[in-house]
Structure 1
Amino acid sequence: MIDALHIEANANVALVKYWGKADEAANLPATGSVSISLDALKTTTIMKQGAGPNDEIWLNGESVGTGVDRIQSFIDRVRTMYVGIGPVHVISTNSFPTGAGLASSASGFAALAIGINRLCGIGLEPADVSRLARLGSGSAARSVYGGFVAISADGDGAAVPIDVDMTHWPLTVLIAVTDTAAKSVGSTQAMQRTADTSPYYAEWVQQHPADMIEAHRSIAEADFDGLATVSIRSCMKMHAAIMAARPPIIYWNPGTMAVVNAVEGWREAGRRVFYTIDAGPQVKVICHQDDVAVCNRELAQLPGVRNVIESGIGGEPRVHWSYSR
């Protein structure tokens, strides 16, 4: 008999950033985004029909906590949208630190949306699963797919995979982990504070469409330098807006700065490499495969870098059923 549904979803890193919400209740982004999937950062979620009257939820071996509460809230919200969803048993495990700026909510809620759609027979198409995942986390809409993925600011919040020959993009992402603790200000709270108080927020939103156009052009034309330039620009503009909030939100630490300075030097020396930083202190260093080995070795030696995770570009989420006799 069928026992449980197993889902593996990858985290993603936004190259053109999303920051801010156009509709907080619907979790619609104020800006578009372009991302790549990371095959080394995974959430594995096991779901089955619950045996008791209530949901049973475990996240990284814990049955209580903020993360568990977010999962419960998401499931409860799905129940208001689709009838006939009974109690469920959820075991979710991340292969990387949770809540530390490594997009654990993206892979986690993508896996949960995929799982609840399959387990409960809702019958949603991928675009609708992406919209559903977005209700848990804005970036989760992108983790429903693999490779390069985009969300348009003037759309309905669903992510769309970018059709591109990945052989033209032989990339490896080196994730420089500079702190494994949960970040002090969560993304949702930080977005609201930035929108309410940062003098740079309006300009961030206004300039964003040009960055989206440049990213799509660069990807279509396999223009590494073009994608590098727009990615760094988007990253720096986002963090400038965040840092200018009142009170300021500073996600970076000395290790973050050491990596940024090193990569800028490597770029000046001609290496095909660039960086981006999400809402946290970790730095994602995107390398052409020819420059991976030397960048990885030198990253690991930088002050403040605790470890380096090497990741390829991830594919589609994987789903399978397990059976018991």
Structure 2
Amino acid sequence: MMIKGKARAHANIALIKYWGKRDDELVLPMNSSLSLTLDCFYTETEVIFNDDIEKDYFYLNNNIQDEAATKKVSDFLDLFRNSAGIKSSAMVKSINYVPTAAGLASSASGFAALAAAANVASGLNLDNKDLSIYARQGSGSATRSIYGGLVEWRRGISGKDSYAVPVDDAKWDIGMIVVIVNPKEKLISSREGMKRTVETSPFYTSWVESAEEDLKQIKIAISKRDFEQMGLIAERNSLKMHATMLGAKPPLSYWEPESVLVMQIVRELRKEGIPCYFTMDAGPNVKILCKLSESYKIKERLTQSFHEEKIIITGPGPGVTIL
């Protein structure tokens, strides 16, 4: 027997950040979050359940992956195999159109695509809500990549009610510019950085409280299509998250000198009357929330300091697609 499924999922960038788990095994977040799915960055994954192979194989960008990476994929596929009563091993082939582990949400698109492909191959045919619950258990932010546009990941009380919901299609002149400061794999993974911050930063409790308020306020701004207010909330939320890391023991920072340069350029552009706002995840790369109609003007300014190929303009992306 050989059954397969193939899917594409797009990366998302959180505007209200997810930073910290209250349950490692179920991947339950400390606070709810909100993101924008992007059209430029995505992962395509094929899952083939095959009785003729004796173990799972995982290929990423045509390269066979090591035992640790394969185990992560195998453990995730077990969620589908156990639910569907499948005993077969799997061949997983994934192509990532996102730099891996550089703070560009490659795990979000990666696990969302894997979940969607496994959903087809296993014959479970879960709806998007349940698929979001499954995807969350691979990578927290993957729960949001099930949907397009602006998406909220609800904190929930248990593993059954922590899932993503669509908020807005974001098709009202919203864009994002990704400035790739450093595409290399970061030294401290998000998982490790998050754990250290939760366990040791004295600022962390305040962060959780204020993130919930930020979420409430940004949803009001989105409902009014108040772009400036939405951007200000997102930028401040990002800075607060990075502040919690500076309080960790030992402190950690993902910023590089060029990250700070991008922030300065954004502030200058705002003074000149161009509404744009920066946000950063666990990595040195900076994302600029802007009006899509003004993105080329902003890119032009950035090219004075950065090579053009390091500046990527993207619009809102779709939810998962079956290929």
- Do both proteins adopt the same fold according to a TM-score greater than 0.5, normalized to the shorter chain? yes
Distance 1:3 1:300 in 2: 48
Please give the per-residue CA displacement for 1:146-197, whole angstroms capped at 9, x wherever unaligned. 11100122352200011x3644x21221100011111111111111100111
What does residue range 20-59 of structure 1 map to in structure 2 within 5 Å?
20-50=20-50, 51-59=52-60
2:213 alignment partner, SS class: helix
Does the CA contact (< 8 Å) of 1:300 and 1:306 recur in 2? no
What does residue range 106-185 of structure 1 map to in structure 2 within 5 Å?
106-154=108-156, 156-162=161-167, 164=168, 166-167=170-171, 169-185=172-188
1:235 alignment partner, SS class: helix
1:309 alignment partner, SS class: strand
Please give the per-residue CA displacement for 1:179-225, whole angstroms capped at 9, x wherever unaligned. 11111111111111001111110110111211010111011110001
What does residue range 217-236 of structure 1 map to in structure 2 within 5 Å?
217-236=220-239
Distance 1:265 1:305 in 2: 19
* Structure 1 residue 19 corresponds to structure 2 residue 24: no
2:298 alignment partner, SS class: helix
Distance 1:4 1:25 in 2: 27
Query: Normalised by the size of structure 1, how large is the TM-score?
Result: 0.92
CA distance change for structure 1 residues 76 and 208 in 2, over 3 Å: closer, same or farther?
A: same
Please give the per-residue CA displacement for 1:75-105, whole angstroms capped at 9, x wherever unaligned. 2354445422522211001112101110000
Q: How far has the Cα of 1:309 moved from its partner?
A: 1.5
Distance 2:104 2:148 in 1: 17
Residue in 2 aligned with 1:259? 262
Residue in 1 aligned with 2:94? 92
What does residue range 47-86 of structure 1 map to in structure 2 within 5 Å?
47-50=47-50, 51-65=52-66, 66-86=68-88
Q: How far has the Cα of 1:68 moved from its partner?
A: 3.5
Superposition misfits of 4+ residues, deviation over 4 angstroms: 303-306
Does the CA contact (< 8 Å) of 2:218 and 2:230 recur in 1? yes
1:270 alignment partner, SS class: coil
Distance 2:196 2:139 in 1: 18
Query: Normalised by the size of structure 2, how large is the TM-score?
Result: 0.93
* Structure 1 residue 102 corresponds to structure 2 residue 104: yes
User: Which amino acid in 2 is paired with 1:209?
Assistant: E
Distance 1:304 1:67 in 2: 33
CA distance change for structure 1 residues 246 and 294 in 2, over 3 Å: closer, same or farther?
A: same
Does the CA contact (< 8 Å) of 1:172 and 1:288 recur in 2? yes
Does the CA contact (< 8 Å) of 1:59 and 1:68 recur in 2? no
Distance 1:283 1:299 in 2: 12
Does the CA contact (< 8 Å) of 1:130 and 1:140 recur in 2? yes
> Comparing 57-66 with 298-307, which one deviates more in the overlay?
298-307
User: Which amino acid in 1 is paired with 2:45?
Assistant: T
Residue in 2 aligned with 1:290? 293
CA distance change for structure 1 residues 99 and 231 in 2, over 3 Å: closer, same or farther?
A: same
User: Which amino acid in 2 is paired with 1:86?
Assistant: S
Q: How far has the Cα of 1:270 moved from its partner?
A: 1.1
Q: Which runs of 5+ in 2 are unaligned?
A: none
Residue in 1 aligned with 2:189? 186
How many residues in Structure 1 have an aligned counterpart in Structure 2?
318
Residue in 2 aligned with 1:248? 251
Distance 1:69 1:299 in 2: 41
1:154 alignment partner, SS class: coil
Residue in 1 aligned with 2:315? 312
Distance 1:176 1:204 in 2: 26
CA distance change for structure 1 residues 304 and 282 in 2, over 3 Å: closer, same or farther?
A: farther
User: Which amino acid in 1 is paired with 2:120?
Assistant: R
Distance 1:165 1:81 in 2: 32
Q: How far has the Cα of 1:262 moved from its partner?
A: 0.6
